[in-house]
Structure 1
């Protein structure tokens, strides 16, 4: 079995996790903006998310022989379920709350945008989850470094809320300037036609914004016409709906995220002494396997129910319609793999250097915001105030991830 033991290896896992976990939300957002039902996307994503966990368990968890009787290989420990089921329950609880959190963010992205959703949810995760992990890990992380990093996340969260408020005001002003509320059906049809090529370019990876040329019949990122065309194509309609709903969903997601890592910590380190004396603690790969099984069961159960009783007035679907919907399925599969491997790397690094330090990967809005700007035109043609707040938010996240990684300890 391969174990990450050095501080450098743990930091490497965290950096890899940061990139992967910051990328998969962009793919899910892309599919929603193309009109694919989020229930279909999440079912596809859940399949490959579980596949990633199986690959990690069958490779790293079985690599070589068991290091000690207290660190058995994956298959050996899998057969010991009757002895370590208490720790398994903690791992499965972590997977369940993470599944609920990820499912919630899929709907929040539509209301408040990819960047702001990730900023607020991840900041809540760090403030609550990192504090819990610090005490669960017997304070192996340097508190004088760790908690200033948590403070940076708090500041970033406040700036993220300000960015959203400022950008929403900018978009409202754009729509008022074009008299969107009073536009005729023919005007709307014209706008949709003008935007169609631009949206397709975004989907196909052409993220170069159109040139400032009045003769070009293309809709520019950040304009009112772009916002209207996007609304027509997307699966979740948001015009005329309060963004407080999106912020409420984001808050719920953040609370779910803040609990999954402490639950996994309890599963692998048995701080509450649930296991009988002599029973090996769950190795990270066995815990991640049960964690992902629970994630998969919760995700599939809820999304099958949402096919027939959809939320937010989405159209009804069915299992047959889901199986026949291949539009963007490859992107959803890829998103699941990225998220699964990202979660695995985060937990491998946390077991080595402390789960509080591993929460540095919650700075994934750094990556998500970059994708939001490049792929989806977020913040294009916004006000100077919005740009200043956006820069401040990103700077605080960069400071936070550096500080939290610097607080890494070494588990004995």
Structure 2
């Protein structure tokens, strides 16, 4: 079994995990913006996620000779370690629920803001739990200032979202009425009611009809609109993007999106402590003489529960979709190859990112490994480069965005500096 036993190697793994975990949400969000149904994308992603976990277990988990206190992957599968397995399974379940929720939240409140809020709350709660579970392995005087930086980033992220929303509303309000009627308009609620305005309804209806026609043919919806030719940041671009995407957000209640964000945050805050308990048995649940689960075996069980729940829920969502997403079928999913390679890539990136995070955490402390939750550094970069978010926004939005990114850079440096040495 291959083990990372020094802080330098652990930090290198954390940096790789940060890159991978910050990139895969951008890939999944891009598929939704291009009209691919989230159920189809998540099914592909889930399959790739388990495949990568098995590869990690069969390679890193089988390298070298098996030892009594550090058995190889196959050796440990037959041992009586069910209490630890249950913790690993629980970690996979809450992470799956978190990813499912955030997939829809990305459409409602944007990739960058969703990642900022979820990751910051994850660090504030999860890192604190991991610090005490690891017996204060990490340096508190360094660790908690880093946590404070994440907490500040929460408020900055909320301010960025609010400022950018105001910018978009101003753009749309200045859009000429003929363009609104031809492309559709944001269905803001009439007089604070739950009924969207007529123009917004037409937009949703037209898009939904096109989606259903495409789903029947077994392919994902991709609008024939001129989004590619529209200038990023303009009202026309925002309207045409709404026509293409599979999750319609104009006229929706933003409270739904924020509720999904905070639910995902709680799930993300729990998965790392659950994995910590699975590999280190701080609560002494294993029988005497039974070795702790090694990180690769725990990650395998973690990925199995993620796979079972992810596949089961998304097959249900094919026929009983949520949040206004069009219906589909398993046959349509099998036939939908538009975007499948990218969805599979996202699953591999996420699985390797999680695996590297756990490997680094086992060596240097899971509290320090939570530095990878600064993935908004990466996802915001992709949001700007790929999705062209924040184009033509106000000076206030740009200043807040810069401050938010600086806080994440500081938090990554501080949290990694708090790394300890579990083996010593």
TM-score by length of 2: 0.89
1:25 corresponds to: 25
2:263 corresponds to: 252
Contact 2:13-2:357 within 8 A present in 1 as well = yes
**Matched ranges for 1:341-380 at <5 A:** 341-380=352-391
Contact 1:195-1:229 within 8 A present in 2 as well = no
Q: Shift of residue 180 of structure 1?
A: 5.5
1:209 corresponds to: none
Contact 1:91-1:263 within 8 A present in 2 as well = yes
1:118 corresponds to: 115
Whole-Å Cα distance in 1 between the matches of residues 387 and 9 of structure 2? Answer: 34
Deviations 1:184-215 (A, max 9, x none): 237889xx99994553xxxxxxxxxxxxxxxx
SS at match of 1:274: coil
After TM superposition, the runs of 4+ consecutive aligned structure 1 residues lying more than 2 A away are 179-189, 192-199
**Matched ranges for 1:140-155 at <5 A:** 140-155=137-152
TM-score by length of 1: 0.92
**Matched ranges for 1:9-408 at <5 A:** 9-66=9-66, 68-80=67-79, 83-179=80-176, 183-185=180-182, 196=225, 198-199=227-228, 218-408=229-419
Deviations 1:338-382 (A, max 9, x none): 000000000000000000000000000000000000000110000
Q: Shift of residue 179 of structure 1?
A: 4.2
Q: Shift of residue 64 of structure 1?
A: 1.0
Structure 1: stretches of 5+ with no match in the other structure: 200-217
Q: Shift of residue 389 of structure 1?
A: 0.4
Contact 2:101-2:263 within 8 A present in 1 as well = yes
Contact 2:183-2:239 within 8 A present in 1 as well = no
SS at match of 1:61: coil
Whole-Å Cα distance in 2 between the matches of residues 374 and 346 of structure 1? Answer: 26
Q: 1:236 to 1:74 in 2, by over 3 A?
A: same
Structure 2: stretches of 5+ with no match in the other structure: 186-201, 208-221
Deviations 1:149-197 (A, max 9, x none): 00000001110000000000100000000145983237889xx999945
Deviations 1:110-141 (A, max 9, x none): 01110000000000100000000000000010
Contact 1:87-1:267 within 8 A present in 2 as well = yes
Whole-Å Cα distance in 1 between the matches of residues 141 and 37 of structure 2? Answer: 46
Whole-Å Cα distance in 2 between the matches of residues 187 and 257 of structure 1? Answer: 36
Contact 2:17-2:356 within 8 A present in 1 as well = yes
Contact 1:195-1:225 within 8 A present in 2 as well = no
Deviations 1:202-233 (A, max 9, x none): xxxxxxxxxxxxxxxx3100000000000000
2:197 corresponds to: none
Whole-Å Cα distance in 1 between the matches of residues 373 and 223 of structure 2? Answer: 38
Deviations 1:300-336 (A, max 9, x none): 0110111111001111111111111111000000000
Contact 2:94-2:270 within 8 A present in 1 as well = yes
Contact 2:223-2:243 within 8 A present in 1 as well = no
Q: 1:51 to 1:194 in 2, by over 3 A?
A: closer
Q: Shift of residue 241 of structure 1?
A: 1.1
Whole-Å Cα distance in 2 between the matches of residues 268 and 362 of structure 1? Answer: 20
1:208 corresponds to: none
Contact 1:84-1:282 within 8 A present in 2 as well = yes
Aligned length: 389
Q: Shift of residue 55 of structure 1?
A: 0.6
Deviations 1:84-116 (A, max 9, x none): 011000000000000110111100000111000
Whole-Å Cα distance in 2 between the matches of residues 277 and 155 of structure 1? Answer: 44
Whole-Å Cα distance in 2 between the matches of residues 159 and 371 of structure 1? Answer: 19
Q: Shift of residue 244 of structure 1?
A: 1.9
Whole-Å Cα distance in 1 between the matches of residues 271 and 373 of structure 2? Answer: 13
